[in-house]
Amino acid sequence: MSFIDQATILCSAGSGGNGCVSFRREKCIPLGGPNGGDGGKGGSIILKVTHQTNSLASVQRLHHVRAKGGQNGLGSQKNGRAGEDTIIEVPQGTCVFDADAPDAPIIIDLCQMDQTYTIARGGEGGLGNIRFKSSTNRAPRKATKGDTGEELRIRLELRVLADVGLLGLPNAGKSSLLRKVSGATPKVANYAFTTTKPHVGVVHYHGYKSFVMADIPGLIKGAADGHGMGDRFLKHLMRCRVLLHVVDATLPIDEQIIVIEEEIRSYGHGLLEKPRCFALNKVDAVEDTEALLALFPEAKVFPISALSGQGVEALIDYLGEVCA
């Protein structure tokens, strides 16, 4: 199944059933009186977090989701059956927005496993005429109609849950690092945009401690404006507690840092304010590592080789302390 991190759905809850106007009519019982039942409540549409999926691919195909309406009330004081609720299963980390109000705040952040949220409530059922019986009105011929169910067009946006987010230019070695320190198996190859979707891995250290690391597709200049692939996936870094900028030691250092900083500054959403450290990757392919480290006078930087594992343990220990 392909990785989809955004979907738009029109949710239409069921309408309530109408109340019934009915009177009891039985042989030898002249004073039967009203006995019309209430209409059933319409079904609601409920979002539920599940571990069965990590993508919105199955949700994207829904387009329009309708819940069943409630049945009308019947005679003999029989209430209509309530409409069945419709459940939409979404992955953990799904944010819900009003699709018709782009500037409106988030409706709900579904970040807890098995969390549920009613996004569209079913209409209440109408009242049968038995509800209107009184000492002054013993034969009411009045019943009410059921309420219309809520309807809302929502936009679902998946944001990966991770403690550490990897960012950098294509081929900096982010995927190689994730493969080295976790059980994740992102694709690794010597061409740009090898990574086409976010990958998440659990990093274990000191035997029993762990944190979650996420790798997103590489950024290029203009990514925040829609160039390349990274603009779609920058939102996955919003939940991360710390950003790890992977820099290729075999390429000009300053240019790589400037490009990435410009993109996360342009994207906004607080990414530039997040704690950030650097992994100077591929140091086994350069001669003067000390000269390169001098380019990071104030930043926390770790010289590593994701291929051989050189310096990786010290990096993981540091990230573990930050995420603890």
Binding residues for Mg(2+): 175, 195
d(CA 178, CA 185): 8
d(CA 314, CA 188): 23
d(CA 251, CA 102): 40
Phi, then psi, of 9 in degrees rounded to 5: -135, 140
**What residue type is 195 in one-letter code?**
T
Q: Find out whether 28 and 180 touch, Cβ atoms under 8 Å.
A: no
β-strand 151-158 against 6-12: which pairing, if any? antiparallel
d(CA 205, CA 320): 8
Residue 5: CA count within 13 A, CB half-sphere: 17
Q: Find out whether 86 and 119 touch, Cβ atoms under 8 Å.
A: no
d(CA 17, CA 72): 4
Residue 225 has what DSSP assignment? Answer: G
User: Which positions make up the binding site for GTP?
Assistant: 168-175, 215-218, 281-284, 305-307
Residue 45: CA count within 13 A, CB half-sphere: 22
User: Which positions make up the binding site?
Assistant: 168-175, 195, 215-218, 281-284, 305-307
Q: Find out whether 41 and 15 touch, Cβ atoms under 8 Å.
A: no
